Amino acid sequence: MMPMPRPAAVTETTTGAWRPTWSPGHTRPGLPSLTVVHDPHDDYAFMAAALAAHTPALGRITVHPTPVASAPAALAHDLLRSMGKHLPLAGSEDGTYWTGNTETAWRAVAAWILALRIGHVVVTRTHRISARHFEHLFALRELTKIRLTLLCHGPLPPVLAAALAVLPYEAVHSLAAARRAVAAPAPAPPPCAGRFAWWEAGEQFLPDEGEPCFLLPTRRTPGRGHIEAVVRRLGRAVLPLPAAGRFPPEPDEHTTLLAHRLHARIAHPVHAAALAARIFTGRPAAQLQQLPAAKAAPARTTRGRECQTPFWAVDLIEAARRFGQLEGREPSARPLRLSPWDQAAVTEAAHTCGVVEHQPSRSSRHPAAATPRSPRPAATHRGAGSTPAPNRAA
């Protein structure tokens, strides 16, 4: 199968923030076929075929929606998990705020789909999802041009039947046809050569108190005595990393482990990219001269020199760029500039990934208190079901 180019984001040629809303009268022509697999008797063989089709390395994921989770952001969370991205396990109100915001959660999904070159999304048990979830799925299909396959293990819900009355689709009823449908190649299958295998990061999701940690790279490689002092202080092994600005294109074993943690433990694209940029440049992302391009291109180091973006960070950087487009941000020299609550989330993400500072500050030891007085303004455009901004007293 010949690799095809990465799909282009709709926001490359549009303005304003993308919202996960769909109107049947504005369906984009030329989209890959919508497929509906109808399994009225809930035969487990249909489900088994869909689960077996999950192959992220080939650009195909299977999403198994969380039962009775009807919040508008819930299906977005399931999609993130299907791509190996996990929501924060714990953290400050600031650091986890975005997860309950419907539009932000769906923009994160769209950004990862575009950056990771996901081209086929299979969703099971769609007879149980809400009307709003169908709207968001169809909007996601319009934006990313994914092949969308829906499995209904029971009667077709009225909202889906109404959508199919105006959408071209392929109906599948037999098990043999269902197996072909769920295993259909993605419209834009990703080339595997030269890509970081982010899909192999599944085992790195749950942090372990005794797992090895990493010192945040600086311009100089720390000496043995300094590392031994950190080991004694933390009571954990410390794995060495290259010095900031000196990461080779091909990651070593320790860098691969850290990159897998970044991919698996940070669901927000900008937070993941900010931590990655801080690691390989040695400089806080908010102070970078520019966001590194979505290829092995130069980024600024702590001394203003250029360094190559290591390829394990390319997809993270690309996802952040896509997310910025979907937020409707204008291109700027510093697109990774972080708000106070974003900074809190990045600090907490570093803690979750086992990345520690050479001289830990109070915020490093207590990430939840990183921004105790950061008054977040209320969201200007919140989707239905979005989490309202916290209201702190002055």
What tens digit of pLDDT does each residue of 249-292 get? 889 999 999 999 999 999 999 999 999 999 998 876 556 545 55
Strand order in the sheet with 34-38: 60-63, 120-123, 147-152, 34-38, 169-172
Answer yes or no: is pLDDT of 314 > 90.
yes
pLDDT-wise least confident of 49-58, 216-225, 364-373: 364-373
Question: Which of 63-67, 208-212, 298-302, 321-325 shows the lowest per-residue confidence on average (mean pLDDT)?
Answer: 298-302
188: confidence class by pLDDT, cuts 50, 70, 90: confident
Least confident of 34-48, 118-132, 295-309, 326-340: 295-309
Burial 273-298 (b: 16+ CB within 10 A, else e): bbbbbbbbbbbbbbebeebbebeeee
**pTM of the predicted protein model:** 0.84
Six token digits for residue 61: 């994921």
The least confident of 15-19, 120-124, 385-389 is 385-389
- 303 pLDDT band, cuts 50/70/90, is very low
With cut-offs at 50, 70 and 90, classify the pLDDT of residue 99.
Answer: very high
Averaged pLDDT for residues 322-345:
80
Q: pLDDT category, 380, cuts 50, 70, 90?
A: very low
- Please answer whether residues 38 and 152 qualify as being in contact, where contact means their C-beta atoms are separated by less than 8 angstroms: yes
Q: Which residue has better confidence, 286 or 76?
A: 76
Instruction: Tell the residue number behind the tokens 């850290």, with chain if given.
Output: 258
Q: Which is higher by pLDDT, 3 or 37?
A: 37
- CA 177-74-141 angle, to 5 degrees, is 50
Across the range 68-78, mean pLDDT stands at: 90
Which has the closest alpha carbon to 10: 32, 28, 25?
28
Opening angle at CA 299, ends 285 and 213, nearest 5: 55
| Spatial distance between the Cα atoms of 344 and 394, rounded to a whole number of angstroms | 20
The torsion region of residue 237 among left (phi > 0), alpha (psi -120 to 50) and beta comes to beta
C-alpha dist (Å) from residue 343 to 263, 306, 338, 366: 18, 24, 6, 13
* 331 compared with 44, residue with greater pLDDT: 44
Task: Return d(Cα 268, Cα 99) in angstroms, integer.
Answer: 9
Q: DSSP character for 221? A: P
Span of 7-21, 43-57, 289-303 with lowest mean pLDDT: 289-303
Give the span between the Cα atoms of 335 and 269, in whole angstroms.
12
pLDDT at 363 over 70: no
How large is the C-alpha radius of gyration of the chain?
22
Rounded to an integer, the average pLDDT of 48-63 is: 96
Lowest mean pLDDT among 79-83, 177-181, 340-344: 340-344
pLDDT recorded at residue 340: 84
Residue 225 has pLDDT above 90, yes or no: no
Instruction: Report residue 9's pLDDT band, with 50, 70 and 90 as the boundaries.
Output: very low
Per the prediction, the chain carries an average pLDDT of: 81
pLDDT confidence of residue 221: 75
pLDDT of 343: 87
| Per-residue pLDDT at 371 | 36
* pLDDT confidence bin for 312, thresholds 50/70/90: very high
Q: How far apart are CA 49 and CA 29, in angstroms?
A: 29
Q: pLDDT exceeding 70 applies to what percent of the chain?
A: 78
Query: Above 80 in pLDDT, residue 123?
Result: yes
